[in-house]
Amino acid sequence: MPNPIDLPLNVLTGALATVVIVMGIRGLVPHLMRPARRDAFNLAMAMVLILAQSAGRAGYWDLTRQMISPENWVWLRDALGGVEANAFWNLILLWGGLHLLKLLHLLVPVGERADYTMLSAWNYPVRLGSLIRRMRRRE
């Protein structure tokens, strides 16, 4: 089926995804202003960073190269380090992931939180080995 709008499909979907992501980020910003609620803050920060990374990456790879001439795209891409520019987007994603891990740590009940770190709380309430054994017993 031909595209009713004369845009490549990845540009059309990238633009729509970017608009929706920006709307979501805007909705999360008020939660960043409430640092007393550490759980809400870390959830909002994780989502803002992960969504901003997605929108930025889509904008860079899908939208920018369609909006400028091929020669200018090659120049811009090379000036920003080629595919190495993804390291920037990956760092933002990593930052968001760390906030997500902190949120998971805050979600462990206070009485059990000392048994977990930010890097192990993703295993709460069941450690991965226990979960796998439970799944095998069900088979």
Q: Is 125 helix (H, G, I), strand (E, B) or coil?
A: coil
Domain-located, residue 43: yes
Confidence of residue 75 (pLDDT cuts 50, 70, 90): very high
Domain total of the chain: 1
pLDDT in tens, 91-138: 998 999 999 999 989 988 999 999 999 998 888 877 667 777 777 887
* Structure-block tokens of residue 47: 């989502």
**Per-residue pLDDT tens over the stretch 53-70:** 888 888 888 778 778 888
Distance CA 36, CA 16 (A): 34
Residue 134 falls within a domain, yes or no?
A: no
Q: Which run of H or of E encompasses 24?
A: helix 9-32
Residues 34/41, Cβ–Cβ less than 8 Å: yes
Structure-block tokens of residue 15: 């633009």
Whether residue 123 is contained in a domain is answered as no
Between CA 39 and CA 114 the distance in angstroms is: 17
Instruction: Please state the rounded mean pLDDT for residues 21-48.
Output: 82
The residue segments making up the domain with residue 59 are 9-107
What's the pTM?
Answer: 0.68
